[in-house]
Chains A and B, each alone.
Chain A
Amino acid sequence: MSGQAKELKVAPSSNGDSRGSWEEKEEFHQDNLGLTTKPTPVTGRRARKVEGGVFFPKPENAVTIAVSTRVLFRTDREQKVFQQKGVEEYLRYQIEHENEPFAPGPAFPFVKALEAVNARLRELYPQSEELFDIVLVTYNHAHVGIRLINTINHHNLFIERFCMTGGSSPIGYLKAWHTNLYLSADSEKVREALAEGIAAATMFLPEKQTEVSESQLRVAFDGDAVLFSDESERIFKAHGLDKFFEHERDNEDTLLDHGPLKGFLEALGKLQKKFYAKGQRLNCPIRTYLVTARSAASSGIRALKTLRAWGLEIDEALFLAGAPKGPMLDKIRPHIYFDDQMFHVEGAAEMGTIAAHVPYGVAQKHNAKQNTSVGK
């Protein structure tokens, strides 16, 4: 057999890996598109340079985003095989189609935007490890590994770390790698992650997809039970709108407690400040939005005061005072929008917004549908 494996002559330093130019990579995956499952032919040491920049940041320094295969890519056909014919047939199918890359999934534009931010960060801070580090974390069996790697190469994604657990829970790995955000199609895994204090959200296959920016990462958050705790929502659900307003007024100067995605907003803010420090405030490739049903004149004040006290800046705060979020989100075109209520997530998705569900807080008891069968 030819060209199976190469000798690794050197390796250990995490910063030292050199990588060649993009042209070399093109050649690499050209060979890949052949119909056999021959191993990818490699001549000598593959090198891919990122203009002298850091390629493998240490997990604790980077903002680690873990995505599962079903949100990064479209695997609905394969899911059907799994559901109808079982795991052995599913793996056989995957291996048979090893050289066919998957199509992009709901988290794909988000990941591409993260990479665009990384490119800008590397220009300004070539030696820094404070970058987005995208990790593929999947329950999949390693038999699917070759197809996944081929797909990552086909789409020119910068994903070097991955974790195929062959069926066991990936939550331990998420923790070990200081994961800042976990996106999965399976709400059970997402709940597990949230319970362990990891920001997480469930993503679904959208029916419609609108175009999003390729140069600016836009992340939108709901307020209650996402950035903030669900304290106020509890009051609203238990006692109604009037009591909600009363409670907010009485507690205007008390900070809201933090919600599951506060940490992620914080991580985004840290990266934003790096751009501001280099005079890039008007040209910052990260933009954050708060899209809340609270109203600016009253209940919104508490939200703003809380954010300020946390030292978190949010670029745009949209207080809808109960108006539907869909049209506003359609204007913003975020790469991802986090909300704790399926009703809003579905409404957003209907208009083509990429929305993710955060199964946290009291709203979950009121969710009529369960997520597991949706959008696989």
Chain B
Amino acid sequence: MARKLLMLMHEMNERLQQESAKELLQFDVVLITTDSQQQQQSSSIISSTKHHGLEISRFCFANEEDFVESLQTNNVQLFLTSDKSEASQATQKGVLSALLDHQEASPPSDQLRIMFCEDAIIQPDTGPTPANREAIQGFAAQLGEIRRRFSLADSPLCFILVTAHGSKDSCASSLLTLRSSGISVDEAYCLAGAPRDPIMPLLQPHFTIRISFSDLEE
């Protein structure tokens, strides 16, 4: 699953290069692991990724307590993991995280689909600090910029907005907030309480970024 993602990002980087030789925006991938067993096999991990042709620019071996610091020192803008607790730890310390979903239907391999979903319940105290808000906005702006390099049809990158519980007006609000942060969404679904499971196999996101839209407020 993650492997497909990496290949997609690699492809996107190539296409970005094709569009403009002076392209500065690229997807830069850092592999991080806190599993000590894995760390002992560090050299085999590194050669394994090379073997599979995965473009990884940096490897980071950390432990569970301070992996978030590692993320921060490496200027990681988006942390992808299948571990829920790791994701929430990172979010709490201000690093935007997303869960890699384990889905039965495998998402398409020719288009990276990123889903934005509003967190239904927001606790006011766990939101990111103003400094991180800037970082998140910066990341959003860059993502949006990458998307703009490609045309509307046949893009290797696709943004999806899903409003699970709010009314259409909250969906409109989210669309505008994302847009002002630089992200023009391609597909939008306002569920108004309808169950999400039946349409997940149709949406096929590679991962979901759960945010409260006040994160993007200036």
- Measured CB to CB, the residues of A under 8 A from B are 1, 4-15, 17, 19, 28, 37, 39-40, 42, 46, 48, 56, 58-59, 87-88, 91, 141-143, 145-146, 149-150, 152-153, 159-168, 172-173, 176-177
Q: In this assembly, does B190 line the interface, its C-beta being within 8 Å of a C-beta of chain A?
A: yes
- Report whether B202 and A173 are in contact in the complex, using a CB–CB cutoff of 8 Å: yes
* Cβ A176 vs Cβ B192 within 8 A: no
Known contacts A39-B180, A146-B172; is-contact A87 B185 (Cβ 8 Å): no
Question: Can you name the residue of chain B whose Cβ is closest to the Cβ of A28?
Answer: B169
Q: B: which residues have CB within 8 A of A? A: 118-122, 124, 151-153, 158, 161, 164-177, 180, 184-195, 198-199, 201-202, 212-214, 216-218
Contact at B173–A39, with CB atoms within 8 Å?
A: yes
Q: Looking at the complex, which one of B161, B167, B169 makes contact with A142 (CB distance below 8 Å)?
A: B161
Query: Which residues on the A side are within 8 Å of B176 (C-beta)?
Result: 4-5, 37, 39-40, 146
* B202 x A172 contact (CB < 8 A): yes
Q: Provide the residues of chain B in CB contact with A165, threshold 8 Å.
A: 187
- Report the 9 A-B pairs with minimum CB-CB distance, sorted nearest first: A14-B193, A56-B193, A39-B176, A176-B198, A5-B213, A142-B188, A11-B120, A160-B192, A11-B165
Q: A46 near B180 (CB under 8 angstroms)? A: no
* 30 A-B pairs with C-beta separation under 8 A: A4-B173, A4-B217, A6-B173, A7-B124, A8-B121, A11-B121, A12-B120, A12-B165, A39-B172, A39-B180, A40-B169, A42-B173, A46-B169, A56-B192, A56-B193, A87-B153, A91-B152, A141-B152, A142-B184, A145-B172, A145-B185, A152-B168, A159-B168, A161-B194, A162-B168, A162-B190, A168-B187, A173-B202, A176-B198, A177-B198
The smallest beta-carbon distance between A180 and chain B, in angstroms, is: 14
A interface: dominant SS: loop
The listed residue with most A CB atoms (<10 A of its CB), out of B152, B176, B198, is B176
Note all chain B residues with C-beta closer than 8 A to A1: 180, 218
- Return the contact of A4 from the options B170, B180, B202 (Cβ within 8 A): B180
Q: Contact at B218–A8, with CB atoms within 8 Å?
A: no
B189 contact from A8, A143, A153, A162, Cβ within 8 A: A162
**In the bound complex, what is the Cα–Cα distance between A233 and B166 (angstroms)?**
48
Q: A4-B173, A7-B124, A56-B193 are in contact. Are A141 and B186 (CB under 8 A)?
A: yes
In the assembled complex, the CB of A45 is this many whole angstroms from the nearest CB of chain B, namely 10
- Given A7-B124, A42-B173, A88-B151, does the pair A143, B190 have CB atoms closer than 8 Å? no
Identify the closest chain A residue to B154 (Cβ). Answer: A167
Of A12, A142, A159, the residue contacting B121 (CB under 8 A) is A12
Contact B188 A164 (CB under 8 A): yes
Closest to A178 in B: B198
Instruction: Give bound CA distance, A213 to B184, whole Å.
Output: 41
CB distance from B184 to the nearest CB of A (A): 6
Contact residues in A for B198 (Cβ distance below 8 Å): 176-177
